[in-house]
Structure 1
Amino acid sequence: MNQLFPIFVKLNQIDTLLVGGGKVALEKFQALISNDESLKLTIVTREIIPEFEELLQNYAQIQLNIRPFAPDDLTDKQLVIAATNNIELNEQLRNLTRQNNILFNAADKPELCDFYLGSIVKKGNLKIAISTNGKSPTIAKRVKELLNDLLPEEIDETLSLMSTYREQLRGDFEYKVKQLNEHTKNILRYER
């Protein structure tokens, strides 16, 4: 049973640690940076692949430490992502994050994770997260492709108009919800 609770995290308001410097770490970094270029991120890795190091030169706010992980690296962190193939290090990180109440993700190790990085569909201000409960990232990718094709490009313009309309509405919460529901019921019509 899928018991995941989807949330959207403001990466520029929390301190995140990424442990690793290989291709998987680069992939995780790209997922993070594509959602918020102003994220607060520290990277710790023994070594880093050249394309990752080169990409990081575009992000002055990101702190890169090329050295082994130390428990002090967790100080003031709220989110930790491990992208290493070091089983012992991943388990150490899991234990330390649990002791310090820090949310943890280990790439390709769902049993160690507090959260998963889902596939993301973005159309302007609309963002849809897709999860398969850690079972199949490939299926999540296919659903992402489907939604990208189905959602109209002008959805962001519609969102802006709805935001303006919502701000103009007067009345209590229930009235506003009723009006917004009525106004949006035909926006994404499709035939079944």
Structure 2
Amino acid sequence: MAMYPVFLKLKDKECLVVGGGKVALRKVHGLLAAGARVTVIAPRLETALRDMTGTGKIASNERPYRSEDLTSCAVVIAATDSAQVNHRIFRDAQNARILANVVDDPEHCDFYVPSIVKRGDLQVAISTSGKAPLFAKRLRKFLERILYPGLDEDLGTLGEERKRAIQSSCKTGEARHEDVRRALAARIAEIMRRIEQA
């Protein structure tokens, strides 16, 4: 299936995770890292999720899912141990035009949550469209080894050089892009050399 890869801006957006186990906990951590406001709904919550509620990191309701739980969220992740409940959540989300992900059920997903390698502002997303998540995890570990720890600082410097190159170019459109490419070529080549040597 053809997919359109995107990164969602979820800062201060309401996101719902339905499920209270370890998988739900992993999804909550990912949403919090993106700056989302997270609510968890499940009849029972892992201790870590209760602790996060107690410290105000998330909101939670220890009860079964209800269709009206979707009214104010931008994204919902269904992470229960019941396929029937997960499929109901997906149908409700479709009807409400809310993006939904049913964990480990690619057919019932509007989006997949990829494996991520993060070095500062650099994020590399790896997806197999739900077909081989273990391979995606292995590839992520490989990339974590070769993307050296100081890469985020080098990319920060590259970003500053890019700003200066854009400001100093008096050209527009493709001609300006070419000026910027020429100005950054040596720095990019050096970064790539360091990655290849890792």
Shared fold, TM over 0.5: yes
Q: Residue 188 of structure 1: SS of its match in structure 2?
A: helix
Corresponding residue number in structure 2 for 1:188: 192
Corresponding residue number in structure 2 for 1:31: 30
Corresponding residue number in structure 1 for 2:86: 90
Relative to 1, partners in 2 of residues 1:30 and 1:13: Cα closer, same or farther, differing over 3 Å?
A: closer
Residues 31 and 38, structure 2, Cα contact 8 Å, conserved in 1: no
TM-score when scaled to structure 1? Answer: 0.88
1:45 aligns with 2:42: yes
Q: Kindly report which structure 2 residues correspond to 1:1-192, keeping only aligned pairs within 5 A, or say none.
A: 2-33=1-32, 35-36=33-34, 38-58=35-55, 60-168=56-164, 169=166, 170=169, 171-182=171-182, 183-184=184-185, 185-186=188-189, 187-189=191-193, 190=196
Letter in 2 for 1:147: L
Q: Residue 112 of structure 2: SS of its match in structure 1?
A: coil
More helix by share: 2
* Structure 1: unaligned runs, 5 residues or longer: none
Instruction: Between 159-168 and 81-90, report the one with greater CA deviation.
Output: 159-168
Letter in 1 for 2:46: I
Q: Residue 167 of structure 1: SS of its match in structure 2?
A: helix
Counterparts of 2:77 and 2:111, CA distance in 1: 10
1:79-120, Cα deviation, whole Å (9 max, x unpaired) = 110000112211111111111111110111111111111100
Counterparts of 1:175 and 1:165, CA distance in 2: 17
Counterparts of 1:55 and 1:114, CA distance in 2: 27
Q: Residue 192 of structure 2: SS of its match in structure 1?
A: coil
Residues 166 and 176, structure 1, Cα contact 8 Å, conserved in 2: no
* Structure 2: unaligned runs, 5 residues or longer: none
Q: Once the 2 structures are TM-superposed, how far is the Cα of residue 10 of structure 1 from its aligned partner?
A: 1.5
